[in-house]
């Protein structure tokens, strides 16, 4: 049994924080492939845009920057991020990302437990 998805098959949508998301692997969509406890999505933030400040009560997130650059807010900290950087976002921590560059900021977002809209609290 094949246990993979294809980027081209993942429909893009705008999530509660304002980023454009493609669910690459999510239990609600890919349980038959073995996905049970975590999710992996690609997020894109346009130049000059930022996601809404938010937090997840249950999910721990990993942001891995694939391309572009920006500014990350993690709690009270603000720091630069660029391609190759990975940020760990503990559950309950307020965060957002701003694309301060002139190309799309693309990142992979891994959530455990899997991303859920009702676990996202806008601040």
Any idea where the domains of the chain sit in the sequence?
13-122
Q: What is the pLDDT at residue 16?
A: 84
Is pLDDT above 70 for 2?
no
Report the CATH superfamily, name and number, of domain 13-122. Answer: Jelly Rolls (2.60.120.10)
Closest CA to 107 of 27, 61, 45: 45
Listed in sequence order, the residues at least 6 apart from 56 whose beta carbon sits closer than 8 Å to its beta carbon are 89, 91, 92, 111, 115, 119, 120, 121
- Is residue 83 within 8 A of residue 66, CB to CB? The reply is yes
Average pLDDT over residues 34-58: 93
Model-wide pTM > 0.85: yes
């Amino acid at each position: 049994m094949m246990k993979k998805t294809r980027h081209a098959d993942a429909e893009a949508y705008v999530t509660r924080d304002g980023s454009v998301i493609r669910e690459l692997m999510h239990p609600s969509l890919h349980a038959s492939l073995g996905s049970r406890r975590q999710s992996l999505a690609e997020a894109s933030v346009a130049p000059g845009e930022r996601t809404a400040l938010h937090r997840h009560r249950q999910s721990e997130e990993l942001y891995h920057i694939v391309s572009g650059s920006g500014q990350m807010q993690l709690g009270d900290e603000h720091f630069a991020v660029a391609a190759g950087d990975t940020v760990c976002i503990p559950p309950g921590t307020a965060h957002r990302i701003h694309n301060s560059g002139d190309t799309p900021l693309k990142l992979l977002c891994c959530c455990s437990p899997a991303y859920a809209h009702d676990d996202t609290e806008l601040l």
